Structures are given as structure tokens and as C-alpha cells.
Structure 1
Amino acid sequence: MLSNSSKYAIKAVLFLAINSSKEQKIMVKDIYSSINVSEAYIAKLLQELARHNIISSIRGPKGGFYLTEEEKNQTLLDIVKVIDGENRVNACVLGISECNDENPCILHALVGPSKNIFLKVLETTTISDLTKDLPKAATFFPY
């Protein structure tokens, strides 16, 4: 359902939500090992998220990435749409381009309801929701 890129992006944003602020920016080198993905790849994802105002970034010696309180109110679906695009979110699980309610694939009736529930969770869960219980959220990362 989610690409690896979206999974990495969500993990990186959660890392930032737990560990950053406008005063305490986080560099890519401080994130990538916790996300378990290459530094260059997570940098590309974070730059894309910053370009779409999902996260904030500042360039320069005291720069890095961080989340504002307002950005923490964005949903997981906001992240996924930036990384994967809306088409992937709504795509058929078998990759059939003509699959829809009027012309369903063989798995449509089996997967459709679960997929709709999952999309609703992504649509209604904010970054802040996942980090409210900070001790529990913080154990998600070894940092």
C-alpha cells in the first residue's frame, strides 16, 4: 500500500517531530541511521517534503530540518501524497489502471474495504497524534 519512500518519509518526519524544534534543527546525518536508509536518499525525501511545506528547513551552518507546531498538525496522508502522489494512493492493488468500483479487479471486493479503512487512518492521523505519548514515541528511535 505504501512505497518504501513513503515509509521512510513518515519515519523521518516522526523523528523530526520528536527531536527537533525551530531552535534545535536536525541535520540529515543525524537522521539517516535511525531511519535505516542512505543519507542521500533521506536528504532527497526531506527536501521534497520541505518544498511542499510539510516540514521546515534552513540552509547554512546552523541549518537543518525541523517541524513547527503547525506542521505537526498535518496528516500522514499529506506526507504520502507528496512522496507517492495521489494516483498511487488510490491505485489498484494489482496495478490495473482500469480498476474501479464499476470495473473491479478480482481483488477489489476483498481488499477495497480494508484499503478504505487504511486510507481513512492516514487521512485522519496527524503527526502530532503519533507523538502525543512522547516516551512511547521516543522508543521508536534509538537516537
Structure 2
Amino acid sequence: MFSKSCKYAIRAVLFLAINTNDDTKLGVEELANELDVPKHFLGKILQQLAKNKMVSSTKGRNGGFYLSEQNKAANLLSIIESIDGKDIFQECILGLDHCSDANPCPYHDSIQKVRREFLLQLKDETIEASATRINEQSLKLKD
């Protein structure tokens, strides 16, 4: 459902939420190693997220990426829409161009119910709350 870029963005944001703050920052190389993702690819994703104010960054010797309290108060939906666009939840599960409420594919109605529930969770839960659940469950954010 999500692009590889979007999956990397989600994982990076959640990792930053767990491991950084205004005083603790991570560079792209360290973050890429921790998440086991390509450094240059992740760097471009993080630059896009920083440009859209989804993550914070500072330059210089002690610089890097981090999540501020304001970033943590946002939701994952904003990250997803920033990377994959606002239409990601409207696309046909089979990739058909003509699928719609008026002309549904065989899975349209079933997937729409699941998407609505997932979308509500993504809207209602902060990044900080998502990161806390992941941390409490000791889930690894590596591939």
C-alpha cells in the first residue's frame, strides 16, 4: 500500500521519536545504520520531511535530525501524505484506474471499511503515542 520511501519515512520518524529530543540528534548515517536502509535514499526523505516541518534538524558539529515536541504531537497521516500524497487511501487495491464507489472492483467495499478504520487511527494517534506503543512492545524498526 505504501511506497518504500513512505515506509522508510514512517520508520525513521518513529525511531527519531523514541531516540531523540531537542538535545539528542542523529545524523543520516547513524540513522540509516540503525534502520538498515540506504543512507542517500534516507537522506533525501529526511530532507523532504524537514522541509515540510515534519522533522526538525540542525546543522553543524552537533547537528542532525530529531523530533521536537511539536513534531511528536503530529500524526503519522501527515508523514504518509507528505511522502505518498493525499490520494494514497483512495487508490484501488488492485491498481485499477476505473475502480470507484460507483464502479467497484471485487474488493472495493471490503478494503474501504479497513481503510476508514486505519485512517481514523492514523489521524487520532500522535507520533509520540505510536512510538510509545512500539517501544513498549520492544518492536524493532529495522528491515
Is TM (by shorter chain) over 0.5?
Answer: yes
TM-score scaled to structure 1, two decimals? 0.88
SS at structure 2 position matched to 1:23: coil
Query: Can you list the C-alpha shifts for 1:82-114, whole angstroms capped at 9, x where unaligned?
Result: 110112232111222332212212221222211
**1:124 counterpart = 2:124:** yes
Aligned length: 142
Which deviates more, 107-116 or 132-141? 132-141
- Whether the 8 Å contact between 1:55 and 1:67 is mirrored in structure 2 is yes
After TM superposition, list the pairs within 5 Å mapping 1:1-143 onto structure 2. Answer: 1-132=1-132, 136=136, 140=140
SS at structure 2 position matched to 1:70: helix
What amino acid is aligned across from residue 30 of structure 2 in structure 1?
A: D
Q: 2 CA distance for matches of 1:5 and 1:72?
A: 20
Report % sequence identity. 37
What amino acid is aligned across from residue 48 of structure 2 in structure 1?
A: E
TM-aligned CA distance change 1:26 to 1:73, over 3 Å? same
- Whether the 8 Å contact between 2:18 and 2:132 is mirrored in structure 1 is no
SS at structure 2 position matched to 1:57: strand
SS at structure 1 position matched to 2:37: coil
Q: 2 CA distance for matches of 1:116 and 1:134?
A: 22
- Whether the 8 Å contact between 1:73 and 1:127 is mirrored in structure 2 is yes
Misfit runs of 4+, over 3 Å: 132-135
Q: Which segments of 5 or more consecutive residues in structure 1 lack a partner in the other structure?
A: none
SS at structure 2 position matched to 1:31: helix
Instruction: Compute the displacement of 1:43 (Å).
Output: 0.7
Q: What is the root-mean-square deviation of aligned Cα atoms in Å?
A: 2.0
What amino acid is aligned across from residue 86 of structure 1 in structure 2?
A: K
Q: 1 CA distance for matches of 2:48 and 2:61?
A: 21
What amino acid is aligned across from residue 89 of structure 2 in structure 1?
A: V
Q: 2 CA distance for matches of 1:87 and 1:135?
A: 30
- Whether the 8 Å contact between 1:81 and 1:89 is mirrored in structure 2 is no
